[in-house]
């Protein structure tokens, strides 16, 4: 027989709220850990970008290709003539801002 007394229902509700709160806390901890990992990756990416900054071709921003408008007004993609498509050059001091 199902007990439908008020006290029992309130106790069931209290247990469900506790269970829900526990799940919320666990989810928040997992999200915080993921955020910490994302922050670490962002930091590592920033370090790599800074380390490579002096070697990234300023003409093509490291892509190795440049877009130019041809005589007919159409955009075309060409290999960067400064880095020959590698995206990497030894930059001169005047290139570095």
Residue closer to Zn ion, measured from CB, 55 or 59: 59
3-state secondary structure of 80: coil
Cβ-based nearer residue to Zn ion, 14 or 95: 95
CA distance 97 to 87: 18
User: Per CB under 5 A, which of residues 12..71 are in contact with Zn ion?
Assistant: 57, 59-60
From the CB of 83, what's the least distance to Zn ion, in Å? 3
Task: Write out the residues near Zn ion by the rule CB under 5 A.
Answer: 57, 59-60, 80, 82-83
């Amino acid at each position: 027989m199902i007990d439908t007394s008020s006290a029992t229902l309130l106790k069931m509700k209290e247990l469900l709220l506790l269970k829900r709160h526990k799940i919320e806390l666990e989810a928040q901890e997992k999200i915080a850990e993921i955020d910490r990992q994302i922050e670490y990756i962002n930091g590592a990416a920033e370090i790599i970008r800074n380390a490579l900054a002096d070697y990234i071709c300023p003409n093509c921003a490291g892509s190795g290709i440049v877009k130019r408008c041809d005589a007919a007004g159409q955009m075309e993609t060409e290999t960067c003539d400064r880095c020959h498509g590698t995206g990497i050059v030894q930059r001169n001091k005047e290139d570095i801002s």
